[in-house]
């Protein structure tokens, strides 16, 4: 007998297949990232790292400390093994030397970044895997870490569609000059107004998006406009997926960066919402008219001992991985959130993962699902407003 999260066959012997339509169907095949060779990025127009208390003040860059890398890799390896024990096939990226200088004819960047968060780069929609553009120059070549796996999938699954969004040039025209010099001097309301108007670091010179800014709900895809995803990127996605309803969304978040800790699908009819990043009223009503319950997440557990060199918000708590409609992997210290979701009937799998945060995020960021059981479904038969 096969149950959610387990399988009668050795996952490594099952035929490779690309199939995933949402974030909750039973997981069969996943990629888990690696912390190997990750660096604190050199400054670039899209992002600046500034950790004066941790040895990397603004303008400096270099390899993450060896002890932090080892601890993060231990947690990633243990998580990968946990998934394998539950009958899920696990693959890993192939790291490169991220400390090296990289360039195109348009620019030179003094460092790369890493390959811990595969979710940022790769999106599965049905039998298609799409490589996102990436708006950081330090991440332009990150796709190389996944090409061996993608080639293997393409060779094994004749139905797989392997797509890549237009590789961006990332010239200075793609960024608003001086953005970071002024944005952090603005008050909260001014920052929120710029988010609502999409007056952020990216211009509309070319389509730009991260895959982690896309939430999959079957026939509906929700694309967050953020520091790494512009309106042109949303327009490209809308044209690329003509058989889907692709929606642009924003929230009351002064630093929008990826949707997967803000608007989190749990199972049909249930979505988790970060209450400090309120969705617009039309989106909330759209979900309610389609009989979805919107849960406001409890406050994250204390981050008094937040890891060094972390650029993640405490709301990374909501960055979790669904193993099936009844099972959620949640960071082990996020007990209040685990208790909240247990009350909705979920089995909670606590996972030690706090050390991974400085390498690019949480359990959802660190994974990219290749295969889930299930088919394309329409969970939103009723329209409302612009949705």
Q: Output the CA torsion 150→153→154→158 (10° steps).
A: -160
CA 359 → CA 10, 60, 63, 309, 310, distances in Å? Answer: 31, 17, 11, 9, 8
87 neighbors 371 (Cβ within 8 angstroms): no
SS3 content of the chain, % helix, strand, coil (to 5): 25, 25, 50
**Measured in whole angstroms, how far is the alpha carbon of residue 60 from the centre of its chain?**
26
DSSP per-residue string spanning 334-353: -HHHHHHHHTTTPEEEEE--
| Cα–Cα distance measured from residue 239 to residue 8, given in angstroms and rounded to the nearest whole number | 40
For residues 77 and 97, give the distance between their C-alpha atoms in angstroms, rounded to a whole number: 20
Cβ-contact 41, 61 below 8 angstroms: yes
Q: How far is CA 37 from the centre of its chain?
A: 20
Could you identify the residue written with the tokens 């617009």?
280
With beta carbons less than 8 A apart as the criterion, state whether 107 and 120 touch.
Answer: no
Partners of 77 in the β-ladder:
none
Q: Which residues are catalytic?
A: 210, 258, 365
């Amino acid at each position: 007998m096969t149950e959610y999260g387990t399988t009668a066959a050795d996952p490594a012997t099952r035929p490779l297949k690309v199939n995933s339509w949402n974030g909750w169907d039973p997981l069969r095949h996943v990629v888990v990232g690696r912390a190997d060779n990750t660096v604190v990025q050199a400054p670039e127009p899209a992002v600046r790292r500034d950790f004066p208390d941790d040895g990397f003040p603004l303008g400096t860059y270099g390899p993450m400390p060896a002890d932090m890398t080892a601890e993060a890799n231990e947690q990633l390896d243990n998580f990968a093994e946990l998934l394998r024990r539950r009958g899920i096939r696990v693959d890993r990226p192939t790291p490169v030397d991220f400390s090296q200088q990289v360039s195109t004819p348009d620019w030179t960047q003094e460092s790369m970044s890493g390959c811990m968060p595969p979710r940022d780069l790769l999106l599965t929609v049905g039998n298609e895997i799409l490589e996102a553009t990436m708006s950081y120059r330090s991440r332009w070549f990150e796709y190389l870490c996944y090409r061996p796996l993608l080639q293997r999938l393409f060779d094994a699954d004749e139905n797989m569609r392997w797509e890549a969004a237009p590789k961006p040039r990332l010239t200075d025209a793609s960024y608003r000059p001086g953005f970071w010099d002024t944005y952090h001097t603005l008050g909260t309301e001014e920052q929120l107004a710029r988010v609502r108007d999409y007056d952020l670091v990216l211009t509309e010179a070319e389509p730009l998006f991260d895959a982690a800014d896309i939430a999959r709900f079957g026939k509906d895809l929700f694309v967050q406009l953020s520091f790494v995803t512009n309106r042109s990127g949303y327009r490209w996605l809308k044209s690329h997926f003509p058989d889907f309803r692709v929606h642009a969304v924003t929230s009351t978040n002064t630093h929008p960066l990826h949707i997967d800790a803000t608007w989190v699908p749990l199972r049909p009819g249930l979505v988790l919402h970060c209450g400090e990043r309120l969705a617009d009223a039309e989106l909330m009503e759209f979900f309610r008219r389609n009989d979805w319950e919107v849960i406001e997440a409890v406050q994250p557990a204390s981050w008094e001992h937040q890891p060094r060199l972390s650029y993640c918000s405490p709301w990374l708590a909501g960055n979790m991985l669904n193993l099936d409609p009844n099972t959620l992997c949640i960071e082990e210290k996020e007990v209040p959130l685990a208790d909240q979701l247990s009350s909705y009937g979920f089995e909670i799998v606590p996972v030690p993962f706090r050390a991974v945060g400085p390498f690019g995020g949480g359990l959802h960021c660190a994974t990219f699902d290749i295969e889930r059981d299930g088919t394309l479904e329409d969970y939103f038969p009723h329209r409302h407003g612009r949705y």
